[in-house]
Amino acid sequence: MLTLGVRCLLVLGVGLWTATASAQTKMTIATGVDPVFSAYYVAQQEGLFKKHGLDVRINTGPSGSAMVAFLVNGQIESAFGSEIAGVANHNLDPNVVVVAQATRLVRWIAVVGRNIETLDQLKGKKVGVARGSGGEVFWLAMIDKLKLNPADYTIVNVEAPEMVAALERGNIDAYAVWEPWVTRGLAAVRNTKVLKDQEGILEQGVYIYMNKAWILKNQAPAEAFLRALVDATEIINGDRKRAAKDVSDFLKNLDPPLVEQLMTKLRFEMVFDDFTVNLFRLAESQLKQQGKLSKPLDYNAFFYPDLMRRVLPAKVNYRP
Confidence of residue 203 (pLDDT cuts 50, 70, 90): confident
Q: Which residue has the higher pLDDT, 23 or 145?
A: 145
In 11-30, which positions are buried (b, 16+ CB within 10 angstroms) versus exposed (e)? Answer: eeeeeeeeeeeeebbebebb
Cis peptide before 296 (omega within 30 of 0): no
Please report which confidence band the pLDDT of residue 189 belongs to, taking 50, 70 and 90 as the band edges: very high
What are residue 228's phi and psi, to 5 degrees?
A: -65, -40
In sequence order, what are the beta bridge partners of 271? 101
> Residue 245, exposed/middle/buried by CB under 10 A (0-12, 13-18, 19+)?
middle
60-100 per-position pLDDT tens digit: 998 898 999 999 999 999 999 988 899 989 999 999 999 99
The CATH code of the domain at 109-197 is 3.40.190.10
The DSSP letter of residue 303 is: B
Query: Does domain 22-105+204-317 bear CATH number 3.40.50.300?
Result: no
Select from 90, 49, 76 the least CA-distant residue to 231: 49
Give pLDDT tens digits for 129-150: 998 888 998 999 999 999 999 9
Q: Please report which confidence band the pLDDT of residue 102 belongs to, taking 50, 70 and 90 as the band edges.
A: very high
Q: Is the pLDDT of residue 271 over 50?
A: yes
Domains 22-105+204-317 and 109-197 share a fold: yes
- Residues 179, 156: Cα–Cα separation, whole Å: 19
The CA R_g of the chain, rounded to the nearest whole Å, is 22
Main-chain phi, psi angles of 102, to 5 degrees = -115, -25
pLDDT-based confidence at residue 175 (cuts at 50, 70, 90): very high
Exposure string (b/e) for 261-274, b if CB count within 10 Å is 16 or more?
bbbebbebbbbbbe
Go through the chain and tell me how many residues it has. 320
Query: Using one digit for the tens of pLDDT, what is the confidence trace for 207-258?
Result: 999 999 999 999 999 999 999 999 999 999 999 999 999 999 999 989 999 9
Name the burial class of residue 54, with classes exposed (0-12), middle (13-18) and buried (19+) by CB atoms within 10 angstroms of its CB.
buried
What are the Cα distances from residue 150, in Å, to 27, 65, 124, 266, 273?
A: 41, 23, 10, 28, 31
Q: What is the DSSP string of 126-157?
A: EEEE-TTSHHHHHHHHHHHHTT--GGGSEEEE
pLDDT tens digits for range 31-67: 999 999 999 999 999 999 999 999 999 999 988 989 9
Rounded-to-integer distance, Cα 49 and Cα 77, Å: 14
Model confidence at 20, pLDDT cuts 50, 70, 90, reads: very low
Please name which of 67, 2, 1 lies closest in space to residue 29, comparing C-alpha atoms. 67
pLDDT band, residue 320 (cuts 50/70/90): low
Query: Where are the chain's structural domains?
Result: 22-105+204-317, 109-197
User: Do the Cβ atoms of 173 and 113 come closer than 8 Å?
Assistant: yes
